[in-house]
Every structure is written in structure tokens, then in C-alpha cells.
Amino acid sequence: MTTFADLGLPRPIISVLAKQGITSPFPIQEAAIPDALAGKDILGRGPTGSGKTFTFGLPMISRLASSGASKPGRPRGLVLAPTRELAIQIQERLDEPANAMGLRVLSVVGGVNINNHIRKLARPVDILVATPGRAQDLVNQRKLSLADVSLTALDEADQMADMGFLPQVKKLLDLTPNDGQRLLFSATLDGDVNKLVNRFMHDPITHSTAPVQAAVDTMKHYLFFVGERDDRNKVVTRIGARDGKTIMFMRTKHGVDRQAKKLRRAGIPAMGLHGDKGQNTRTTTLQGFADGSVSVLVATDIAARGIDVHDVSLVVHVDPPAEHKAYLHRAGRTARAGEAGTVVTLVMDAQRDEVDKLIAKAGVDAQSIDLTNDASPAHNRTLAAITGAQAPTGVALPEPGQQQQKKSSKPKAAKPRSGGGRGGASRGGSSRGGATLSGKRGNTPRGKGSKAGGGASSSNKPSRSNNSRRRSW
């Protein structure tokens, strides 16, 4: 069996991995790490959960540790990621091995006060993990220079292309030295990603661990034909009441908020996640989902990549995705690192043709189950057997933070006004109740995280558990 030592990684990094219970590399790591350590440009293709973060991160740490020192505001390693959550997660994965080699990692993302990032960049940062927009903001304010970047990694490059980030990515890459090493990792290597490859990479070596339409062996796919919207909504509620962690995907932000409220009114601890949520709310939501206090995460496609929460046993496409790549990335939130998982698509009558084409293009073998002939589709036994659907408690849950606000908003004892001669007039004190939820960080694997906050920084010790040894590193 191949070990990380066989790949040429330095002993301090190997020791950190061993303490985390990670002793053997994933296929993409075994294939690409030696070439990355040799300074070659790498094109890596693999499904989500295949270990891409360590594949580019560990060679970056190793090479930078032996090549000098960084200056304030001038990192030597740059990682670009499409979403805040993914950027923060990458920092958390790389923090401990980087510290073991005497390096500092910092994530800078939108939704966090930029002054916090400016203050942290005043100290030397060796590896900067950034969303493209926030990196450009810091460059524009002359608080960040990319002139010393010798290694650049692009994670989920195809999603950055799909989200329209390519112009910003190109601007940022133009600011890095032309002879720098580039590592590009993605679930797919087609379309606009090729433009980045042709412009910025030098004779890259391609390592692919799975075809574009790969299906995880431990993942089962089902199509449930549910008829009209009313029956679909009843099915959603009973699925939401199941035991275990569930991610439900909606197409719109409004749909996410509405669905999360419906589930909470039925007594199901659900929370929504989409791009209009503040960073503190997003961090708190993921913390709750990771520690189990939130059992259902309702999300737009922002959560389809980069959200690595263990034990997600069911993914539900309440709204079928618009295209096949989105289906595969949504589905990739379950059956990670060898665990089993189920993916369910709820199909209304008007969506049958659309979903048939989607599934065919995704290359997925899905079992179709028709509930429309059932007098009560939501109570179908096959549905319950596959998803664990059951009756909710029916005891409505307050909106997140509502209880804390109510407790902190008790009026103070009335007391007379001083002066003015308005006898008996008084005013009660006011309070500014705030929802302060704490919990474990949602996007660290099975373990302790840092307190909820802006999300731009994290503990230097990503946690783990004895029961989760091979995660999606």
C-alpha cells in the first residue's frame, strides 16, 4: 500500500496526517502529488470528495517551506475558490500541516469586514486562500500584491467559470509571475476551463481519477414521481422529518427561505443557506448542521460544492437542477469518502421530460418510482423505506434566534423621569436582543470547531474523530 512518505512529502506533514488518522492517500493524491512536488503544472480531475484539497495543498506547503520567507501583504502561495465556505474549509484543512512546516495560511472572503483582512495581511502570510472578488478588492486597495506568488491553485475551476468569475480569475493570474507553478483542480475539465489552461498553464500533466459522468458506487439514485405541487410539498415534509442529516436543494433563494420556514412550522429543525445570507448566519447554519442540531439544510446550488459535512445520508432535489453538472455536484454532498448515501429527485408531472433528459446527460442510473397512483403519496411505504420519511412532530419551532431575542428583551423596571415635572411619567428600558448561537464549526470534519464568527479565520487544529479516518481531504 502506498503511503504519504512514498509520495515524497516531508516528515512533519506526514506526522500531522498520522495524528489525524490519515495514513494512505486517495487515488488523485497518489497520482498528482509527486508531479506537483517536482514543480510541474497539474490538471486534476476528480469527483467532489476525492481529496483534491490535500492534492494541491500539501505540495504547496512543502515547496514554499523550502523556498524562502513571505513579506506582509505579499503571499507566495495563492488558492482561488468559488465560494466563501469552500475557501474557509480549505484554510481549515491546510492550517495544521502548514503550521508544522512553519507557514501561515489565511482565508479572505466576501461578506466579512475587509478591514479584518487588511489587519491580518499586515503580518506575513505564506498561503492566501481567497474568493476572486475579495482578492481583487484587496489588490485594488493596494493591501495585497501577488507579485511574489510562485504557486497558484484553482479549486473547482469549472464552477468559477459557471459563476462568471473567469474575468476576475484572469486578472488575478495576470498579476502573478508568468513562470509560476499552476495547479488547476476541477470535477470537469471542459468548456471555459480550457481557456484558463491554454492561457496560463505550461505543459500541464493531467491526472484524472474518474470520468466526467462518474457515479459513486456507494450512492443510489431515485426518481419519485409525485404528481402536483401539493402532494410534493407533503412528501417533502415527511422526508424532512426523517432521522439523519438531509440536504434539500431548491433553485431560488426565496424557495429556500420558504421551504425552511415550512419545515420549522412542522417541527423539523431546518435552516436555509444561500448567497444573500450573512457570513455569520451561514457559519452558524453549517455549525448546526455539522453538530446535528440542524437536521435539514435547505440550500441553493451554493452548497453543491465545497460543503464537506460528514454523515449526510440523503440529498433531495426538491427542485430538479437546471443542468446535469449541478445534479452531479449536488449529489456529491452524500456518499463522501466511501460512505453510503441516497439521492432523491422529486418530479412533478410537468417536469418528467426535463428530468429524463437531465438524468440521461448526467450518466446516472436512477430507479423510477411512481407515487401518483397512491391515494396519499406522502405515506407511501416505498418512499418511507428508501428515505426514512415519517410524520413530523407538528410542534412548530421558532425562527432561528427568536428565543434568545425574547429572553434578552425583557423590559427593565419602570422608573420616574428625573426633572421636567411630568408626574408619574416613566419609560421602560429597552434591550437589543441578538441571536447568538454557538456550536461546532460546520465545515470541519467530525470535530470541534471554532466559535461562530465572521468565518474568515479558523482554528489551527482541524479536528477529527476516531470514527472518521478517511475524509474528503
Q: Which domain CATH number covers 123?
A: 3.40.50.300
Residue 379: other Cβ atoms inside 10 A: 16
Crossing angle for the helix pair 132-140 and 166-174, nearest 10 degrees?
Answer: 50
Residue 351 lies in a domain: yes
| 61 & 142 share domain | yes
Residue 110: other Cβ atoms inside 10 A: 18
Say yes or no to pLDDT of 38 above 60. Answer: yes
Residue 237 CA: distances (Å) to CA of 158, 230, 269, 294, 299: 34, 11, 11, 15, 15
| 119 & 260 share domain | no
| 121 & 96 share domain | yes
Q: How high is the pLDDT of residue 331?
A: 87
| 202 & 245 share domain | no
Contacts (Cβ under 8 Å, ≥6 apart) of 422: none
Residue 446 lies in a domain: no
Total domains in the chain come to: 2
Q: How high is the pLDDT of residue 191?
A: 73
Q: How high is the pLDDT of residue 49?
A: 63
Residue 452 lies in a domain: no
Residue scoring higher pLDDT (439 or 357): 357
Q: Which of 175, 208, 241 is the last residue of a domain?
A: 208
| 99 & 233 share domain | no
Query: Which contacts of 174-177 are long-range, i.e. CB under 8 A and separated by 24 or more positions?
Result: 175/139, 175/145, 175/146, 175/147, 175/149, 176/78, 176/146, 176/147, 176/149, 176/152, 177/147, 177/149, 177/150
Task: Identify the domain containing residue 357 by its residue range.
Answer: 219-387
Q: Point out the least confidently predicted range of 11-20, 265-274, 439-448.
A: 439-448
Residue 181: other Cβ atoms inside 10 A: 22
Residue 421 lies in a domain: no
Residue 408 lies in a domain: no
Report the alpha-carbon distance of residue 297 to residue 443 in Å, rounded.
13
The pTM of the full predicted model, rounded to 2 decimals, is 0.69
Residue 195 lies in a domain: yes
Q: Mean of the per-residue pLDDT values for the chain?
A: 83
| 63 & 101 share domain | yes
Parallel/antiparallel/unpaired status of strands 415-416 and 426-427: antiparallel
Say yes or no to pLDDT of 144 above 80. Answer: yes
Report the alpha-carbon distance of residue 224 to residue 367 in Å, rounded.
9
| 109 & 242 share domain | no
Q: How high is the pLDDT of residue 432?
A: 36
Residue 470 lies in a domain: no
Parallel/antiparallel/unpaired status of strands 205-208 and 42-45: parallel
Q: How high is the pLDDT of residue 436?
A: 35
Residue 310 lies in a domain: yes
144: left (phi over 0), alpha (psi -120 to 50) or beta: beta
| 228 & 196 share domain | no
Q: Which of 208, 229, 263 is the last residue of a domain?
A: 208
Share of the chain above pLDDT 70, in %: 79
| 159 & 302 share domain | no
Q: How far is CA 21 from the centre of its chain?
A: 22
Q: Which of 387, 414, 434 is the last residue of a domain?
A: 387
Q: How high is the pLDDT of residue 261?
A: 96
Residues 319-330: tens digit of each pLDDT: 999 888 888 888
| 378 & 263 share domain | yes
Report the alpha-carbon distance of residue 246 to residue 298 in Å, rounded.
8
Residue scoring higher pLDDT (241 or 448): 241
Which triple of cell numbers denotes residue 441? 464549526
Q: Point out the least confidently predicted range of 117-131, 211-225, 233-247.
A: 211-225
Nearest to 193 by CA among 232, 165, 226: 165
Say yes or no to pLDDT of 368 above 50. Answer: yes
**DSSP, res 71:** B
Q: How confident is the model at residue 216 (pLDDT cuts 50, 70, 90)?
A: low
| 268 & 129 share domain | no
Residue at 317: amino acid letter: H
Q: How confident is the model at residue 277 (pLDDT cuts 50, 70, 90)?
A: confident
Nearest to 92 by CA among 289, 305, 308: 308
Say yes or no to pLDDT of 304 above 90. Answer: no
| 260 & 185 share domain | no
- Segment 180-191 shows an average pLDDT of 84
Q: How confident is the model at residue 194 (pLDDT cuts 50, 70, 90)?
A: confident
